Amino acid sequence: MTEEECRGGHDFAVIEAIAAKAKEENLGLIPILQRTQETIGYLPKEALRTLAELLHVPYSKVFGVATFYAQFHLTPRGRHIIQQCDGTACHVKGGPRIRRVIEEALGIPPGETTSDLKATYEIVYCLGSCGLAPAAMVDGKVVGRLTQDKMKRILASME
């Protein structure tokens, strides 16, 4: 497998360095995947295949771990991350209306990233902010007591 084939545009040397350092430090697979994602921004399948080869671990194991944990992403993420709560309190207090606003503004359903990589939209099932329902987390910051207009303003302010 050539460097170009395996890396899908990602620098093979970077992945190789992560694997080599992980072997030195006797790291497990999860920390290796975390470092790879921190470096590349997500876990492309080519990187998973490369890690499997370099670590002498079956690809199925690497892929299985990467897809089991929600912290890992196999596709590029947007510059802005919108996580809308759909827990009971948020749902009952207007979550579906907020969802329609987000979907319309971004032009994508939950679980997707805009084609320009501006935003990734996700549904989560509790932000621990039930008293602020309906709530969302935008770029790591909880925003609550959302109305359709407030959500539109938040989305419009994103660069």
**Tokens representing 21?**
């350092």
Enumerate domains of the chain plus CATH numbers.
3-68 (1.10.10), 80-157 (3.40.30.10)
DSSP state of 151: H
Binding residues: 85, 90, 126, 130
Binding residues for [2Fe-2S] cluster: 85, 90, 126, 130
CA distance 89 to 150: 18
Q: What pLDDT is recorded for position 4?
A: 43
Per-residue pLDDT tens for 39-78?
999 999 999 999 999 999 999 999 999 999 999 999 999 9
pTM of this structure = 0.79
Per-residue pLDDT tens for 70-94?
999 999 999 999 999 999 999 999 9
